[in-house]
Amino acid sequence: MKALKGFLIDRVTGVAEDKTYDLGFVKTDIKKLFNAYAFLNPGEYKVLIKMLQIMNWGNQIRKTYPQLSQEAGVCENTVKLAIKKLRLHNYIKRESTSSYMVNPEVACRVNPQKRMTLLHDYKDIDNKEK
């Protein structure tokens, strides 16, 4: 398994904390992951990493706020804020209640052909909401 290794900097103390995240076989755009740190606080970033770890092969996450909160080790309000920011920056889209899809341009668990299908599905979510 591959791991994402990086540093989280506590915005209050300024102390760098060495972290390794096991993302399994998820292909990620590392630049997008680093860019997410610009708009997410460390707790919200943990939610993003947890979502990437638990997404299924269709890039979907089917968890409630309490479930994500428990799995990421953060409070429910942090999950709510993280999801709001991730949606605003097009990292995820809401499919239905407690169901989200990760943008395949951010991360994907599949081969390139399946990724293109997922990109199409991801773009279609907006059309279904209208």
**Which burial class, exposed, middle or buried, applies to 52 when counting CB atoms under 10 A from its CB (0-12, 13-18, 19+)?**
buried
pLDDT at 9: 56
Whether residue 69 is contained in a domain is answered as yes
**What are the tens digits of pLDDT across the range 72-124?**
999 999 999 999 999 999 999 999 989 999 998 898 876 667 777 888 888 88
Taking alpha carbons only, the member of 7, 110, 100 closest to residue 50 is: 100
Cα–Cα dist 58/108, whole Å: 8
The most distant pair of C-alpha atoms in the chain lies apart, rounded to whole Å, by: 45
Residue 21 forms part of a structural domain: no
Hey, what are 34's tokens? 């680093």
Which residues have a Cβ under 8 Å from the Cβ of 64 and sit 6 or more positions away?
98
pTM of the predicted protein model: 0.72
Does residue 17 belong to any structural domain of this protein?
A: no
Please report the pLDDT score of residue 19 as a whole number. 53
Q: In this structure, is residue 53 part of a structural domain?
A: yes
- Residue 73's domain is classified under what CATH number? 1.10.10.10
Number of domains in the chain: 1
Question: Is 15 a domain residue?
Answer: no
Residue 125 has pLDDT above 90, yes or no: no
In a domain, 18, yes or no: no
Q: What integer pLDDT is reported at residue 22 of this predicted model?
A: 47
pLDDT of residue 11: 59
Name the nearest CA neighbour of 108 among 50, 54, 35, 58.
Answer: 58
pLDDT at 85: 98
What confidence score (pLDDT) does residue 73 get? 95
SS3 14: coil
Q: What is the pLDDT of residue 13?
A: 66
**Interval 5-63: pLDDT, tens:** 444 555 566 665 555 444 556 778 888 888 998 999 999 999 999 999 999 988 999 99
Domain that holds residue 82: 26-129
* Cα-based distances in Å from 104 to 12, 33, 41: 33, 13, 23
